[in-house]
Structure 1
Amino acid sequence: MIKPQYMRFIKFVCVGVMNTANYYLVYLLLLKILHCNYLFSHITGFLCAFVISYFLNCYFVYHVQPTWKKFLAFPLTQVVNMGVQTLLLYLFVDIFAMNTIWAPFPALILTIPVTYIMTTYILTKEFV
C-alpha cells in the first residue's frame, strides 16, 4: 500500500508532467511556428502552465477549494521555480550551447523538489 504522502507526491509529479506538456507545447508553438525568442517563449509557456497547474493541484493533488487568496499566494511557489528554471535555461543554451528544443527539460526536472515543498505549504499549510 502506498502511503498518502507518497501518493500525493506521485499525483504532484503527474500534474507536473501534464504541465510540462502544456508548457512545452506553448514553448514550441511560439519558438518554432511564430519564431519568437526562446526566453519569451519560455516565459509565456510557463505562465500558461502556471494557471493550469494551480487548478490541477487544488482539485487533483491536494483536494482543496481554490480561492483567490490561494491563487494570489500560489505565485510564491513559482517565483523561485521560475527564476531557477530561467537561469538554468540560459546557462544550458548560452553557456553550454544546448539545443533550445531540449534545454527546458533538465531545467524543469531540477526544480521539482523545491516546487513540491512550496506548493504543499501554500495550498495546505503543511510542512513536508
Structure 2
Amino acid sequence: MTVRGQIVRFALVGVVNTATYYCFYLLFLAVGLPYVAAHVVAFLLSMTGSFFLNCRFTYRTRPTWRKFLLFPLTNAANFVITTSGVWLLVDVAGFSSRWAPLVAAAAAIPITFVVSRTIMLRPETPRTRDSLIEAVASK
C-alpha cells in the first residue's frame, strides 16, 4: 500500500464524503435550519460515514473503537477551517451560503489527510485490537 495510492483513495472518499455532507447541508437548509447549524449537523453525519470508508477503502484497516473515538481528531482541523471559512465567506465576503462550504473545504484537505493517516495506521495494542464491527455484531 503506497502513500500515493492512499492519497488517491483518500481523495475519492473525500469526494463521496463531501457529496454526502453537501446533500445533508442542503436538506437541513431546506427544512429551515440556520446555515451554521445545518453545517454542523451535516458535518457530524458525514464524518461517521467517512470513518468507515477510510478504514475499509483508503487505509484497508479494521475499524476499532479506539480509531472511531480518535477519528474526530482527524476532522477537528477540518471542522475549524471549514466552519471559519463558511462564516468568513458568507458573512464577510458575501458568498452564497449554498456554495461557501465547498470553497472552505478545499483548504482543509491536506491537514485532514496527514492526521487521518497517523490515526488510522497507528499500530494496535492487544487491548485495542477488537474491531468495532465485531463489538457491534456481538450485541
Q: TM-score, normalised by structure 2?
A: 0.86
CA distance in 1, matches of 2:49, 2:121: 18
1:23 aligned partner = 21
CA distance in 2, matches of 1:118, 1:106: 21
How many residue pairs are counted as aligned between the two chains? 123
Which AA in structure 2 matches 1:118? V
* Cα displacement (A) at 1:21: 0.5
- Runs of 4+ deviating beyond 3 Å: none
2:104 maps to 1:107: yes
Identity %: 38
* Cα displacement (A) at 1:36: 1.0
Q: C-alpha deviations, 1:34-79, integer Å up to 9, x for none?
A: 0210000000110011000000000000011000011001111111
CA distance in 1, matches of 2:28, 2:76: 22
Q: 1:54 aligns with which of 25, 28, 51?
A: 51
| Structure 2: segments with no counterpart, 5+ residues | 124-139
Q: 2:2 aligns with which of 1, 4, 13?
A: 4
* Cα displacement (A) at 1:125: 2.6
User: Which structure ranks higher in relative contact order (CA pairs < 8 Å, sequence separation ≥ 6)?
Assistant: 2
Which AA in structure 1 matches 2:12? C
| Structure 1: segments with no counterpart, 5+ residues | none
2:122 aligned partner = 125
Determine which structure has more spread, i.e. the larger CA radius of gyration: 2
Q: TM-score, normalised by structure 1?
A: 0.93
